[in-house]
Amino acid sequence: MRKQILIASAIGLTTLLTGCVGTGPNTQEGAVTGGALGAIAGAIIGHNSGSGNTLGGALIGGAAGALAGGTLGNAADHENGTVYGSRTAAPAQTSYTVVQQMPPPMPPPPAVQEVVTPSPAANAVWIPGYWTYDGRAYSWIPSHWEIPPANSSTHVAAHWENQGNGYFFVPAYWR
């Protein structure tokens, strides 16, 4: 009975001290793995020594293994920036570049007539082709099949709108 209480206490203490150095995944895994391997090794060594003290060896080995494993895991967490962030990480900065492009001098050509190919899936939607303008010339983007994104059912096709002072491109989107 006394041995069972000591074994349960050792397991409880090892579990309690798991990750005591830090909270990163490597710290916790290292402490658990080190504690388990240390307890096994300590029990074997304690049992095979002249005294046959399996429980004492398991307690000492488990504690030493948990501390060593947690320390090594914490070092890995620091190195990888798993919990504490990278030492070289700079604060995030967002910059925006606004490019104002002149509208095309003429409307886009008529749409290219394309053959609708067989649907690759029951929920696929045929996306019509459209013209893009790169500042020098129009380019045709061919039609294709697309699976709608989650929570979307309607596709609004890309198109050009005449806003009085020129044609402006409206990109496609799902809603």
Over residues 42-72, the pLDDT tens digits come to 668 767 777 767 777 666 776 667 667 767 7
- Rounded to the nearest integer, the mean pLDDT of the chain is 77
At 100, the pLDDT band (50, 70, 90 cuts) reads low
At 83, the pLDDT band (50, 70, 90 cuts) reads low
Backbone angles phi, psi at 160, to 5 degrees: -110, 140
Residue bearing the bigger pLDDT, 25 or 143: 143
Does the pTM surpass 0.85? The reply is no
What residue segments make up the domains of the chain, in order of their start?
Answer: 2-80, 101-175
First to last CA, the chain: 67
Burial of 10 (0-12, 13-18, 19+ CB in 10 A): buried
At 102, the pLDDT band (50, 70, 90 cuts) reads confident
- CA nearest 41: which of 60, 20, 68? 60
pLDDT tens-digit series, residues 113-126: 999 999 999 999 99
Please state the separation of Cα 95 from the chain's center in Å: 24
